[in-house]
Amino acid sequence: GEDVEQSLFLSVREGDSSVINCTYTDSSSTYLYWYKQEPGAGLQLLTYIFSNMDMKQDQRLTVLLNKKDKHLSLRIADTQTGDSAIYFCAETPFGNQGGKLIFGQGTELSVKP
């Protein structure tokens, strides 16, 4: 069945790069997303990648997709304390109507000064 896995915690120092990893099971996924959730807030869309792409860059964010290994990563360059949040990976399995999303458990990123 459909499943998305993430490690639960990541701790980095301010100014370092952060890499958050995600694995998924549905090889026919069409879109893969990264959302950010700050305390007490909803999920904010960060970026997304279509399954025929290997990489997408958006300012400090780089998304890498390895379809063979069903692995998605989000790299945040020059991580700041304001990047501390929970990051969710999500996929839209092909054939699911209406863009139903399958979410991972979320990775809590802690940025230390």
Partner 1 sequence: DAGVIQSPRHEVTEMGQEVTLRCKPISGHDYLFWYRQTMMRGLELLIYFNNNVPIDDSGMPEDRFSAKMPNASFSTLKIQPSEPRDSAVYFCASSSEGGIQPQHFGDGTRLSIL
Contact 105, 16 (CB under 8 A): no
Nearest approach, Cβ of 80 to partner 1 (angstroms)? 22
Nearer to partner 1, 26 or 106 (CB): 106
Nearer to partner 1, 12 or 43 (CB): 43
Q: Locate tokens 């639960």: which residue?
A: 8
Nearest approach, Cβ of 99 to partner 1 (angstroms)? 2
Distance CA 106, CA 110 (A): 13
Nearest approach, Cβ of 14 to partner 1 (angstroms)? 27
Direct distance between the N- and C-terminal alpha carbons of the chain, in angstroms, rounded to an integer? 41
3-state secondary structure 86-106: EEEEEEECCCCHHHCCEECCC
Nearer to partner 1, 31 or 75 (CB): 31
Nearest approach, Cβ of 20 to partner 1 (angstroms)? 16
Tell me which amino acid residue 65 is: L
Nearer to partner 1, 33 or 111 (CB): 33
Cα–Cα separations (whole angstroms), residue 89 to 4, 21, 104:
8, 8, 5
- Residues lying near partner 1 in the complex (CB under 8 A): 31, 33, 35, 40-45, 48, 88, 92, 96-101, 103, 105-106
